Amino acid sequence: MQTAVAVLFALLAAASNALATALQRYAARTVPLSRGFRPALLVELLHRPVWFGGFAAVVAAACFQALALLNGELSLVQPLFVLELPFALLIGGLVLGRRLPRPGWAAVACIVAGLGIALWAASPTPGVQRPETFRWVLVLAGCAAAVAVLAGTAVRRPAGALRAACFGAAAAIGYALTAALMKDATHAWAAGGPGAFLTAWQTYGFAAAGVGALFLLQNAMQSGPLAASQPALTLGDALVSLSLGVALFEEELRDGWWLLPQVLGALLVFCGAVGLSRVPLTRTLVAPDADRPAPVGPVGQSRSDGPDRPDRPD
């Protein structure tokens, strides 16, 4: 029963994040694109109720994720967030009035089937609620080193697929670590109430890790093609979460011949993520600058570097 509750809250969290993406993208599309830093952008967005709806969905997603991690294993809950992108495409298609083409539906089917096969084969079992300190030290050091290597490799490369993939993989580690820290912090709340939650270092750790992961993700999106960064993010988050569940919380996964369907499921998820990254609607939701109004100058008038380009249908 507790596993079913965890799955339900994880799916609600993924759907809420997807709704937030669609609503905030809809709000952003109504604001002229600026060539530089423009503080007035936030003021303009605050005047749009749909933006508040997106912000409320972000808050709801965080609450649902905390409840999912409180009731289920990290190696079960976090991989379910792979479904956030398919949810975003389905919801975004309705909000933005765009259709998901047949290749997109095939990619969604690959992700859903691959995730189901991998989790069924892995069958994560519960571990400890609060990891020992020495485990946290090893995990934090390992994650920091991996992120440093990936980010260092990315900054030494020119814009392109490799740079985007490295930043995407680094962001995946950051998001998986954020979930692990959040899981520990939620158990601190369950055991000692709000006071224990606010005095636990994990609470501030997951906030910092989340901000860092978001920063890495933004760099990934601006460094190269989505087809390179999105699969690294999607599959990397799931695989690192599985690893952290085992290393930190002592969760157990089935091994032996069960590894074969686990690998098959991971390959299906990877193929689905690659397929979705090539769908025009995905680019609209994740990197939609081309669909937004032209940049504005200091007096608020639109500017364009070239002739207008007609919208391309999905």
Write the pLDDT tens digit of every residue in 64-82.
999 999 999 999 999 999 9
Q: How far apart are CA 189 and CA 270, in angstroms?
A: 35
Indicate the domain borders of the chain: 74-286
Query: Does residue 275 surpass a pLDDT of 70?
Result: yes
Mean of the pLDDT values across residues 142-146?
Answer: 96
Q: Which pLDDT does position 304 carry in this prediction? A: 39
Query: Cβ atoms within 10 A of the Cβ of 109, count?
Result: 14
Which residue is associated with the tokens 């499921």? 265
Q: Which pLDDT does position 10 carry in this prediction? A: 94
The 10s digit of each residue's pLDDT in 3-52 is 899 999 999 999 998 888 777 766 655 555 444 334 444 555 555 666 67
Query: Does residue 102 surpass a pLDDT of 50?
Result: yes
Upper half-sphere CA count for residue 173 (Cβ side, 13 Å): 19
Q: Which is nearest to 73 in space by CA: 128, 155, 132, 142?
A: 128
Distances 250 to 73, 125, 128 between C-alpha atoms, Å: 10, 9, 6
Round the average pLDDT of the chain to a whole number and report it.
Answer: 83
